[in-house]
Amino acid sequence: MVSTGTLRSWYNIFGSSNSAYLSWIVIGVLVCEGITGMATDGLWNTVNHGRTFATVDWSKFKTDDDDDDDDDEEEDEEEEEEGGGGEGGDEEEEEDED
């Protein structure tokens, strides 16, 4: 298994005090969590390729019909025509004619 010299040097570095031992445990947990997280994410992405937001080919869903943009432009033009004094000017002309 592990040689006595290796265990003795590990003990002298990490096992001789509580703070060093606790640091060893925390660092070990973080490293193992990182490795496990990367492995499970890689497996998940491999199994679900093409089904997640990042891997979907969005060009398949693109449409050439830009009706939404045209509708917005038409509404803006109508508001400009109404707000440009079109109605107010007509009323004044009618009063002048009578």
32-83 residue pLDDT tens: 999 999 999 999 999 999 888 888 888 888 887 666 655 666 666 777 777 6
d(CA 40, CA 47): 11
For residues 65 and 86, the model is more confident at: 65
Token representation of residue 88: 């107010």
Tell me, yes or no, if the pTM score tops 0.75: no
The 10 Å Cβ neighbour count of residue 31 is 10
